[in-house]
Structure 1
């Protein structure tokens, strides 16, 4: 199953649930795209695809400068996994195709 396309995700963070949209495009084992939330949009970096496993990073500045480190699994029209939030640990995220 391809990860390519638009996704709506919910991240469970220390500050409560946060919504974001993803636009993802795979090419071989490389994943590119953008992630957008209420604070703005950013290009994803270090994106990788391995079968139905995906990972990427995105840098944010609000509520503080952080790099969010995502790793997850695509299962049909669903995606779920963990989001690393630096010194605060990791938290679950899940979503579906838009």
Structure 2
């Protein structure tokens, strides 16, 4: 089982405010993100021990291509995301029981 598998409640602190997103990661290193009724597939999920990266596209609050780089420690996740040339955004999350 990968260290990321499960359902996560993740906060992304962006220049337009903090976004609350539900992430679902599967044991085969795939997953989805759901926010405000929009569910998007995750792309290129790579799990290397506690280090996890992935990409995704969103259309809300605006159309963006995001890249994530996080570390998982048990049921806690911390790291950052980046949308093109925009500043990096802090990412924190907790796995649901």
Query: TM-score, normalising length from structure 1?
Result: 0.90
The aligned counterpart of 1:91 is: 89
1: CA distance, partners of 2:46 / 2:5: 12
The aligned counterpart of 2:12 is: 11
Number of corresponding residues: 95
RMSD: 1.3
Query: TM-score, normalising length from structure 2?
Result: 0.91
2: CA distance, partners of 1:39 / 1:83: 21
Q: Which runs of 5+ in 2 are unaligned?
A: none
Secondary structure of the corresponding residue to residue 3 of structure 2: coil
2: CA distance, partners of 1:66 / 1:87: 11
Pick one of 38, 44, 47 that aligns with 2:45: 47
Secondary structure of the corresponding residue to residue 62 of structure 1: coil
Contact 1:26 1:49 in 2 (8 A): no
- Return the structure number with greater strand share: 1
